[in-house]
Amino acid sequence: MSLVLTVIPVNSYCQIELPADTLKEDSLKKEALRDPSSLVMHYDIADLYRNVFHPKRKPTPVSKKSAITPMPNIAYNPSIGAQIGIKAVAGKKIGNNPNTLMSVAATSASITTKGIVYFYISHNVFTPGNKWNLQGGIIAARIVTPDFGLGIGQRALQSEKEQVLTNADRQPYVIRSQLYSFREKIYRQMMDHLFVGAGVSFSIRRKIEGIIEGESTPYGIYSERYGFDPNHYASNGLLFSAQYTTRDNQNRAYNGVYADAGIRINQSWMGSTKNAVQLTTDFRKYWSLSKRNPEHVLAFWNFGSYLISGSLPYMELPGTGKDPSARSGRGYTIAYFKGLKYFTSEIEYRFPITKNKFLGGVAFFSMQTTDDVSGVKLFEHWQPGGGAGLRVLFNKATRTNLCLDYAFGNYGRSGLFLGLNEAF
């Protein structure tokens, strides 16, 4: 678990500030009172910083606020050591068409005392009028990955190797590797809200250390069974997708629907170690529960990934936190449960705490299921997770939040999960 520590003064956010220069006109005052969701009423980190360090400075108009939200990325745990780095997210509408959806991007770079290095850039860009949508990112990393075996935590009744592979007791293993990844999809708008696209994905792992001399490990057993070199692999393929979206904001939606269905076809002629066909589905629905305070939101998310044919490398199998934003299954570490097929659903209630929307909260609950190679089928067994969290408004112009979630699950799993923007 990676903890992001951000120093936030807490002595001046409790009251709504309506500067005289901002609301000189009675009409603006009336508009702010008539529409409490107006950004004039919102209070973010930039406002807090100005009040604490520059109390006499006039507030920056929302239209001129920076679309980039940076923050330090500081962490510690026994697996990675001490970590230091920086991360940032950005949001901006391109062009003057009022119907254009917001484009978002994120980046992070960090290094740890145990030699772990991680860098990524991701983007989701809509051109004016939403004619084109570009989604993708790059990753370059030297990482340590906790591994808890295959399946949903059910004990195998077959061979000793299958018992190790399914790891019902969730004994922790560690896999070290270098990862280089590139992914890009280009969507074309076919009609209002509907996009069809295609792209490519390259994922290369090198210098993998996942086998313990004289001991069977889930990674070693799986790699031997499916014919993967335990030291390196490539998972390269073509992507074909259809997307439907009516979300009012890509960072933090109050209303709307997002649905995406895609096919990934790994091909050896593209350098992939094995051929494979994989189906993914992603569905999200948002309901604002109050016209006066639209931040009261009930949100639902379902993500699924299914191997149709062929073989995937062990570290490419779908599972907990293996969705595109790596946020599913809070309460468990990434890939805590994984298999050839994976399905998870989550529901979350989001609400404001302070009237100026600087602080908010969430409560969430999830269920996930997967299969294994010992006979346990998808949907046969489920694992729950849940928790609650605090939200701090970082950038009101882009609805960027700092998210602090405490989540828990079975096997004594629990932890504090921090990040920018909502989990979904």
Contacts of residue 78, defined as CB under 8 A and 6 or more positions apart, other chains included, come to none
The reported pLDDT for the residue numbered 227 is 94
**Does 376 map to a domain?**
yes
The reported pLDDT for the residue numbered 18 is 32
The reported pLDDT for the residue numbered 266 is 98
Distance (Å) of CA 381 to CA 344, 377, 378, 415: 12, 8, 7, 23
How far is 417 from 3, CA to CA, in rounded Å?
Answer: 7
We report the CATH number of the domain holding residue 154 as: 2.40.160.50
One-character DSSP codes across 339-384: -SEEEEEEEEEEEESSTTSSEEEEEEEEEEEE--SSSPPTTTS-EE
**Does 345 map to a domain?**
yes
The parent domain of residue 140 ranges over 26-420
The reported pLDDT for the residue numbered 45 is 66
Count CB atoms within 10 A of the CB of residue 195.
23
The reported pLDDT for the residue numbered 160 is 87
The 3-state DSSP class for residue 289 equals coil
**Does 46 map to a domain?**
yes
**Does 12 map to a domain?**
no
Q: Count of domains in the chain?
A: 1
How far is 70 from 264, CA to CA, in rounded Å?
Answer: 33
**Does 208 map to a domain?**
yes
Tokens of 41: 């009423």
**Does 15 map to a domain?**
no
The reported pLDDT for the residue numbered 102 is 84
The reported pLDDT for the residue numbered 76 is 61
The reported pLDDT for the residue numbered 46 is 66
The 3-state DSSP class for residue 259 equals strand
- Span between the terminal Cα atoms of the chain, in Å: 19
Contacts of residue 291, defined as CB under 8 A and 6 or more positions apart, other chains included, come to none
The reported pLDDT for the residue numbered 208 is 96
At residue 261, φ and ψ (nearest 5 deg) are -125, 130
pLDDT in tens, the chain (424 residues): 444 333 323 332 222 233 333 333 344 344 444 444 555 577 766 676 666 666 666 666 655 555 677 777 776 655 566 778 888 888 888 988 888 888 989 899 999 887 889 999 999 999 999 999 999 999 999 988 889 999 998 887 778 888 999 999 899 999 999 999 999 999 999 998 999 999 999 999 999 999 988 789 999 999 999 999 999 999 999 999 999 999 998 889 999 999 999 999 999 999 999 999 999 999 999 999 999 899 999 999 999 999 999 999 999 999 999 998 888 999 898 899 999 999 999 999 999 999 888 899 999 999 999 999 888 999 999 999 999 999 998 888 788 888 889 999 999 888 887 777 899 9
**Does 390 map to a domain?**
yes
**Does 14 map to a domain?**
no
Q: Do 165 and 222 meet the contact criterion of CB atoms below 8 Å apart?
A: yes
